[in-house]
Amino acid sequence: MVGALCGCWFRLGGARPLNPFGPTVVQTSMSRSQVALLGLSLLLMLLLYVGLLGPPEQTSWLWGDPNVTVLAGLTPGNSPIFYREVLPLNQAHRVEVVLLHGKAFNSHTWEQLGTLQLLSQRGYRAVALDLPGFGNSAPLKEASTEAGRAALLERALRDLEVQNAVLVSPSLSGHYALPFLMRGHHQLHGFVPIAPTSTQNYTQEQFWAVKTPTLILYGELDHILARESLRQLRHLPNHSVVKLRNAGHACYLHKPRDFHLVLLAFLDHLP
């Protein structure tokens, strides 16, 4: 389940009843135990606040339209990439959405979250990829270099005949999306970075040179990678920024309804 992001189990031993005639050290021991439990509770609350645990939003914004068929397969060639794909149910939009993923996830995340189904309902073709070494994609030697990662992504889009791509790139997938973005491929029609990694590898001048329409998304409680990436991504000349309130690093999981609304608004207004 999408909500099962972090399970924390604690086994607390049963305390012996206090002996009113016993030494006071027993009472002191119990008092320290209670303090320890209180401290543990406060620590968990702090983790939730800073977004490390970031509880998913309790929402019905999970889509399972039986009319939407999620296709799956491998791209051809010697370096296959596993993908999931949906076709538009209604009149197709010109842009096509390519969804990458973070370190703890894969293409199945976007099906579980309902993003693929929702995009299909709204008339978009959408493709979610398993990056090399994740999900159903085997590790690939080319993924060890920046140029290799950009080439892998370019080849996957070509093999899948994706035109006018809008690239959604959370977290780890910045290793692939940013080299691809910097090369200015003609099929990249939009960019949606969600606190991506690797922004520090590029100069302010390199970001300035990118004209791709960009929606910068991040969670309010992501105080580390979101801030670091935002510092660099703000140099993109054609961008807007949206902060999802009460969401952590994987803000699309914590606030799926808000994420979907913002993403659809961005897609619907692309030229």
Whether 222 sits among the annotated catalytic residues: the reply is yes
Among the listed residues 108, 137, 222, 229, the single catalytic one is 222
Burial 226-262 (b: 16+ CB within 10 A, else e): bebbbebbebbeebeebebebbbbbbbbbbbebbbeb
Residue pair 219/244 in contact by the 8 Å Cβ criterion: yes
Phi and psi for 261 in degrees, rounded to 5?
Answer: -60, -45
Among the listed residues 107, 137, 169, 171, the single catalytic one is 171
Whether 260 sits among the annotated catalytic residues: the reply is no
Among the listed residues 101, 108, 249, 254, the single catalytic one is 249
Whether 189 sits among the annotated catalytic residues: the reply is no
Helices (H) and strands (E) in the chain, counts: 9, 8
* Strand locations in 102-179 (E): 125-129, 165-170
User: Sheet of 96-99: strands edge to edge?
Assistant: 71-74, 82-86, 125-129, 96-99, 165-170, 188-194, 214-219, 239-244
Phi and psi for 171 in degrees, rounded to 5?
Answer: 45, -120
Among residues 212, 216, 251, the alpha carbon closest in space to that of 233 is found at 216
DSSP 3-state assignment of 145? coil
What tokens does 247 get? 């969401």
Q: How far is CA 256 from the centre of its chain?
A: 11
Residue pair 224/28 in contact by the 8 Å Cβ criterion: no
Supply the residues annotated as catalytic: 171, 222, 249
